[in-house]
Amino acid sequence: MPKLIIITGGVMSSVGKGVTSASIGRILRARGFSVNAVKVDPYLNVDAGTMNPYQHGEVFVTYDGGEIDLDLGHYERFLDVELPRRNNITSGQIYLAVIERERRGEYLGQTVQLIPHVTDEIKKRLLDAADGYDATLVEIGGTVGDYEQLPFLEAVRQLRLELGEENTVFIHVAWIPFLKTTEEFKTKPLQHSVAELRRYGIQPDALVVRSEKPIDKATAKKISLHTNVPASAIFNSYDVDTTYRVPLVLEQQGMGEFLSKRLGLPDRRPALEDWQSFVEALTNPKHTITVGMCGKYVELKDSYISIVEALKHAGAALRTAPKLEWISSDKVEERPELLEGKSLDAMVVLPGFGKRGTEGMIECVRYARVNKIPFLGICFGMQLAVVEFARNVLGLRGANSTELDPDTPHPVIHLAPEQQGLDRLGGTMILGNREVEIVEGTLARELYGSDKTVERHRHRYEVNLDYLPKMAEAGLVVSGWRTDIRRVEIIELRDHPFFIGTQFHPEFKSRPGKPRPVFYGLISAALKLRGEA
Ligand code: GLN
């Protein structure tokens, strides 16, 4: 029988439902159970590919090329798994499938309705995901009471009936505010959100109460009384120094035992020692370095969340806290001298699309190159590093990417021949895993310690191979190539303590305790220069 752990959210969004779900996953994984994780996004977009990072945060890329919600990134990092794109289910996908089926006449003249047709489609996808796993997490995005959530709540309500209590657990995550004037927690909004959930026929089996500080017994008792959830199934996820501590907090309160019992899984001792030491290393750094983070979407930090996490993973492995100095490429474009005032130990030029702010990003590359600051360019950042090199080292005036200047006299970044002529925003994106061959005798080879790797991609434009001989003469080395087709994957500079750019996105494969080589390399280079390595 499939076993589902269904997680809903109440009171308000952004209180860490994704992290809670991921933490529950880690707790089960620590017991050796196989766990799948699904994120349901009730919005009508089919995927997150076209969504604005300002509004929604990073687009996470799966190994099979899905452009999906960033919560899947939490799951991958906490569970240490690689999830397929189909694990992000949106209303858009569900409705599209149902309507397409209707158009093909497959409903044989029936009236097509939310119940049962839409709910059946949802249930089918959830059951498919759960097939073959000891347990499957289903996080329902949004907050209970949202109109768009209704078909999903209805579907999981039906699944409880069909699979039985022993195979379904409902966990509701809700915030309780602490009122400073009266010095007490207020549980009313949470009570209301549970009442709302009951209106749809769902009584939560457990609550994860999110709060600023640990809640007291009396508060827990009150919550229990009003929500009909036994005190033993009320967990408290209070604010902690790092989200990576949440699995430890929940485990300490008996979450693992609760779930094992509830789902009839064997009672096993959790192996959380490695996780614990990672958290200790992360929260007790011996060194601090300042990392410039230059990009276009720096106002919303979630836009680059996987990169931020990747830096933390690498930092923890080196007992170093990376202090991030966000640099808006727009601002640098207006006032390049801004950079002079900063004392940076490392510079990351971030992924991106479109022209705005790119001259500022190029200036950040130049600044790092000339001042010998350890540099990592990711995707767009790598492409702009090539542009900078072409302009300022090779002296090719007006060199650019054709994405930014279609008429540039020196298209050092362009659409590769097989990409040209295809629809601009459609199908031409290279997405997901590609194998990369790493050239011997390079920095990349030293970092990876291997001649091959597989990394995830999300880009359209490529380094123009025609310019490579000239670049090589001037010290820009290609140290990684795609294995299936001749495309540049990694570049580096000879005359620099650490200067590397990747066409791929190394951040998506970084995990606690398993930092990705380029991030690890960047931070160790910064430490070395400070004489602290
Ligand atoms: N805009 C660039 C491209 O399409 C880089 C994309 C990225 O940074 N993800 O190739």
Substitution site in 457, 461, 464, 482 for ligand 1 pocket (most atoms within 8 Å of beta carbon):
461
Q: Is 507 a catalytic residue?
A: yes
Q: Check residue 426 and give its pLDDT.
A: 43
Dist CA 328 CA 76 (whole Å): 29
Burial 126-161 (b: 16+ CB within 10 A, else e): beebbeebbbbbbbbbbbbbbeebbbbbbbbbbbbe
- Token pair listed for 25: 């996953």
CB atoms within 10 A of CB 309: 21
Strand residue runs (E) in 311-379: 320-328, 346-349, 375-378
**What is the per-residue pLDDT across 186-240, written as a single tens digit (0 to 9) for each?**
999 999 999 999 999 999 999 999 999 999 999 999 999 999 999 999 999 999 9
* pLDDT(425) > 60: no
Q: Which has the closest alpha carbon to 22: 128, 138, 125, 131? A: 138
Q: What is the pLDDT of residues 10-41, one digit of tens each?
A: 877 777 899 999 999 999 999 999 999 999 99
Per-residue pLDDT of 515-530, as tens digits, reads 999 999 999 999 999 9
Task: State percent of the chain over pLDDT 90.
Answer: 85
The CA distance from 22 to 246, in Å, is 9
pLDDT tens profile 263-321: 999 999 999 999 999 999 999 999 999 999 999 888 887 889 999 999 999 999 999 99
505: annotated active-site residue: yes
Answer whether residue 119 shows pLDDT above 50.
yes
pTM check: above 0.95:
no
Average pLDDT, the chain: 93
Which H helix or E strand runs over 525?
Answer: helix 517-529
Q: Using one digit for the tens of pLDDT, what is the confidence trace for 399-413?
A: 999 999 999 999 999
Q: How far apart are CA 255 and CA 27, in angstroms?
A: 8
Sign of CA dihedral 146, 147, 148, 153: positive
Banded pLDDT at 53 (limits 50, 70, 90):
low
What pLDDT, in 10s, does the model give residues 471-505?
999 999 999 999 999 999 999 999 999 999 999 99
Cα dihedral value 315, 317, 318, 320, nearest 10: 30
pLDDT, residue 55, reads 67
- Residue 440: half-sphere exposure toward Cβ, Cα within 13 Å: 0
At residue 435, φ and ψ (nearest 5 deg) are -85, 140
pLDDT confidence tier of residue 145, bands split at 50, 70 and 90 = confident
**Alpha helices (runs of H) in 166-263, residue ranges in sequence order:** 188-199, 217-227, 246-252, 255-263
Q: How far is the CA of 430 from the centre of ligand 1 (A)?
A: 10
| Domains, the chain, with CATH or none | 4-277 (3.40.50.300), 285-529 (3.40.50.880)
Task: Write out pLDDT tens, residues 314-369.
Answer: 999 999 999 999 999 999 999 988 888 889 999 999 999 999 999 999 999 999 99
CA of 224 relative to ligand 1 center, distance in Å: 50
Mean pLDDT calculated for residue range 162-189: 94
**Predicted local distance difference test score (pLDDT) of residue 427:** 45
Ligand 1 pocket by C-beta < 6 Å: which residues? 351-353, 379-380, 383, 403, 458-461
Residue with tokens 């003249």: 109
- The active-site residue, picked from 313, 379, 455, 496, is 379
Question: Which residues share a beta bridge with 4?
Answer: 136, 168
Q: What is the 3-state secondary structure (H, E, C) of 262-283?
A: HHCCCCCCCCCHHHHHHHHHHH
